[in-house]
Structure 1
Amino acid sequence: MLQLDKKECFIALGKFLSQFSMDANSKNETVLYNDLFYDDFIDLIHLSQSHNGWFTPEQVYFALNSWAEALTDKNLSLWLSKYSFDCAQDDKKKVKTVGLILAGNIPLVGFHDFLSVLISGHNVLVKTSSNDQHLIKFLAKYLIAVNPEIKNSITFTDGKLENFDAIIATGSNNTARYFEFYFKDKPSIIRKNRNSIAVLDGNETHEDLVNLGEDIFRYFGLGCRNVSKLFVPKGYDFKNFFEAIYKYKDVIFYEKYSNNYDYNKAVFLMSNFKLLDNEFLTLKEDPSYASPISSVFYENYEDLETLKSRLELEKEQIQCIVSNDLIPKSIAFGQTQKPQLWDYADSVDTLEFLINL
C-alpha cells in the first residue's frame, strides 16, 4: 500500500473526527462511512469514562479535536516533507513489523506512534494499555473501512508481543528498565517518565497565567506535557497566579480529582510541609519535577542564566518548558497539549527512527 494512500486514509480520519465537539456534534454528510461509524463513535465517547474514570467526555473531545486539527492534508504534507522515504511498499524485505506498547494516561496518547509506523511504510503490532484500549481500535476500524488494504498492516494483541522487528514502548521509569533489558536485542525507542515545567519572571499577563492553567489542568494533569512544576524568581507573589487559575475551579467537583486533592493535601500537611492552597490546587516548594495530581511544585531561582544551565543538564527529565521566551525553544502558555505532528515525545524523531530500520 503506497504512502500516499495511507496519507489519504488519515486525512479522511481527520475529517471524520472534525465532526465531534464538546459544544455540539455536527454530522457532515460528505464524510466517508458516517452511516457505519458516526453514531457508534458518539456512544463510545460517552462510554469512555466507564472504561477509564479520567476519560470524561470533555477530555476525550479535546483529544479528538486536537487530532482532527493535526490530520489535515496541509499538516501531514508539511510533516512528511522533510523526510526521504525509501521503504517502498512493494519491497517487502524493507517492511518491518514494529511493536508498540502504549500508555493509557490520556486519551489516544499512543496514536502518534501508531500513525508514524503506518505512514513510514511499516506494519504495526499494538499492545494497548488497559486504560485506553477502545478509542484507538475504533479509529483503526475506520481507517480499514476507508481502505481495506491497510488492514494487512495493523494488528492488535492482548498477549505477549511476538514476531516483531523493532519496538516503541512507553512506561514508567521502572518499566523502562524492564523494557530496556527485555528488548535489548531489538532497535527500540523506550520512553520513561518526564514532566513539563513553566518558567515565570513576574511579567506574565493575566491571559498568560490563565493559559498556564490550561497547561496544568488539561487531562487533570495526567500527561507528561502537563506543567507539574513552576520556576519563579525569588520573592515571587503567587496572588496573580491564583486569581488567573480560578477559572479552573470546577475541577474540584470531579470526584477522582477531588479525592486526590484531599489525600495529597492531607499527606503534605501531616508531614508539616508548608503549602499554598486555593481549595482545588496546592503549591509546594520542592526540588522534584513530578508532582502528584492536584498539586504543582515550585522552586525559586535567583539567576536566569544559572537556571538555563541547570535545565540543560536535567533535560532528560523534562518534556516541555513553558515561558515567554525566557528559555530557548520554550512553548507558549496554553500550548503544551496541542503538539504538532513534528513535536516528538522526548525530542526523539520517531519517524527518522522508523525510516532507518
Structure 2
Amino acid sequence: MGGQPETFSAFVKLGGFLRDFCNGTSGEAPWVEKLTNAVTQAKHQNGWFTEDNVLFALNSWGNLLTEEALGGWLSRYKLLQDPYPGEEKTVALIMAGNIPLVGFHDFLSILLTGNRVLAKLSSNDTVLISFIRDYLVSLEPIIQSKVVLVKGTLQDYDAVIATGSNNTARYFEYYFGKGPNIIRKNRNSAAVLTGKETKEQLAGLGEDIFRYYGLGCRSVSKLFVPDGYDFDLFFQALYPFHAIIDQAKYANNYDYNKAVYLMSDFQLLDNGFLILKEDTGYASPIASLFYEHYKDLSSLKSRLQNDRDQLQCVVSEGVVENEVAFGQTQSPALSDYADGVDTVDFLLKI
C-alpha cells in the first residue's frame, strides 16, 4: 500500500498520534513529552510558529492521515498494490519554512510512492519534521534508511522538489533544471466578494487572512470587491481576530507598514490590526491586505484566469471554478497540490 505497506501503516499511526496529542488524549507519554518539547523549540526557532499555529498544523495533518483519506487519495494512482512494484528513487527535497510543516505533503508523497527522501530543511523549520521522522522510525525502523536529513550539499539524487521565493527559484532552476524537478515560486491567494456574503462567511475569511499571520501561499492577501463596496460588515466580522496585534512580530510589521504607507500619502482603511490598501498587486506585506474594485464579474474572471500562475487559491462563492469556500484555505485536501502540479504523478514517472 503506497510504496510499502509498513510505510502506509506508519503514516496512519502518525495521524492517530497527532489527533490524540492535539485532543490531549494520547497515551504515548514519552512521545507526548517529545512533541510538547518540539512545539516549544519550534517557537524558539521561529517566532511566527506560535503554539496555536503549530497545533493547528499538527491537527490538520492528523485529520488527513487516516486510512480512509490516504487510501482514497492513493487509489486514483493504483498505489494500493501490495507490494508496490516501482523502483526506489532518491528525491532531493528542499523545504520552505514560512509556515509549520509546509513541506510535509512532499515528504509524505515521496515516501508513499516508494521513494527515498533526501531532505534539506529550512533553517526556520527543522524541529517538527525531525520529530516526525523520529516517530515514524520508531514505528517502522525501515524508514530510517528512507529519510535522510542533509545539512550540507545535496548529492546523488534522481529528482528534485524545491520550494522557495521567486529569487531562490532562479537559483534552483540553474542548479536543478537539467533533471526531473518541481520548482515552486511565490504564490498568493485572493478572495472575491460580491457584497452578499454572510457575517459567518466573512468571519471564515478572517481565518483565511490571519492564520499563520498571512505567511502561507494559501493565505488571502488580496480582496476583489465591487464598486461601492461597504467595508463596515467586513471589519465587524474580522473584529474577533483583533488579539493578533498582541503578537510582537505582527505588531512591529503593522506599525512599520502603516508608517511607510502614511509617509507615501496612500489612502488606507485601518481597523487597528489590519491595514487595507488599494493596490493591483497580490503580495501584500504582513498585517496589510491589498484590495481592488471590479465593475463586472465576467471581466474579473478573465483577469483571474490570466493571473492563475500567481494564485494558489481563490476564495469565493459561485464565482470561479475550483474556488475555495470561505474559511477553508488552510484546510486543503491531500489532492490539493501546491501550484496545481500533481506531485504523486510526477514521482511515479521519474
Q: Smaller-chain TM-score range?
A: over 0.9
Is 1:313 the equivalent of 2:302?
A: no
2:115 match:
122
Structure 1 residues 355 and 90, CA, compared in 2 at 3 Å: closer, same or farther?
closer
Contact 1:224-1:319 at 8 Å conserved across structures: yes
Following superposition, the deviation at residue 88 of structure 1 comes to 8.5
- Counterpart CA distance in 2 for 1:36 and 1:278 is 45
Contact 2:218-2:329 at 8 Å conserved across structures: yes
1:237 match:
230
Deviation per CA, 1:292-332: give whole Å up to 9, x if none: 00000000000101110111111000000000121111000
2:5 match:
4
Amino acid at match of 2:99: I
Contact 1:87-1:355 at 8 Å conserved across structures: no
Q: Which of 185, 189, 194 is matched with 1:192 structurally? A: 185
Structure 1 residues 90 and 253, CA, compared in 2 at 3 Å: closer, same or farther?
closer
Following superposition, the deviation at residue 90 of structure 1 comes to 8.1
What secondary structure is seen at the aligned counterpart in 1 of 2:20?
A: coil
Q: How do residues 288-303 of structure 1 correspond to structure 2 at under 5 angstroms?
A: 288-303=281-296
Following superposition, the deviation at residue 36 of structure 1 comes to 3.5
Structure 1 residues 86 and 241, CA, compared in 2 at 3 Å: closer, same or farther?
closer
Name which of structure 1's ranges 283-292 and 175-184 shifts more when overlaid on structure 2: 175-184
- Counterpart CA distance in 2 for 1:223 and 1:325 is 24
Q: How do residues 136-215 of structure 1 correspond to structure 2 at under 5 angstroms?
A: 136-215=129-208
Amino acid at match of 1:67: W
What secondary structure is seen at the aligned counterpart in 1 of 2:21?
A: coil
Contact 2:49-2:100 at 8 Å conserved across structures: yes
1:250 match:
243
What secondary structure is seen at the aligned counterpart in 1 of 2:178?
A: coil
Following superposition, the deviation at residue 163 of structure 1 comes to 0.6
1:70 match:
64
- Counterpart CA distance in 1 for 2:80 and 2:209 is 41
What secondary structure is seen at the aligned counterpart in 2 of 1:162?
A: coil
Q: Which of 23, 28, 38 is matched with 1:44 structurally? A: 38
Contact 2:74-2:80 at 8 Å conserved across structures: no
Following superposition, the deviation at residue 19 of structure 1 comes to 1.8
1:110 match:
103
Q: TM-score, normalised by structure 2?
A: 0.97
- Counterpart CA distance in 2 for 1:226 and 1:90 is 36
Deviation per CA, 1:66-121: give whole Å up to 9, x if none: 000000011001100100349997868x2110000000000000000000000001
1:15 match:
16
Following superposition, the deviation at residue 151 of structure 1 comes to 1.2
- What is the count of residue pairs matched by the alignment? 349
2:55 match:
61
Q: Which of 316, 325, 330 is matched with 1:323 structurally? A: 316
- Counterpart CA distance in 1 for 2:156 and 2:82 is 21
Cα RMSD (Å): 1.6
Deviation per CA, 1:111-142: give whole Å up to 9, x if none: 00000000001101000000000100100111
Q: Structure 1 unaligned segments of length 5 or more: list them.
A: none
Following superposition, the deviation at residue 47 of structure 1 comes to 2.5
1:26 match:
25
Deviation per CA, 1:175-199: give whole Å up to 9, x if none: 1011111112110000000000000
Contact 1:89-1:121 at 8 Å conserved across structures: no
Amino acid at match of 1:10: F
Structure 1 residues 90 and 82, CA, compared in 2 at 3 Å: closer, same or farther?
closer
Q: Structure 2 unaligned segments of length 5 or more: list them.
A: none
Is 1:83 the equivalent of 2:90?
A: no
Amino acid at match of 2:158: D
Structure 1 residues 84 and 233, CA, compared in 2 at 3 Å: closer, same or farther?
same
Q: TM-score, normalised by structure 1?
A: 0.95
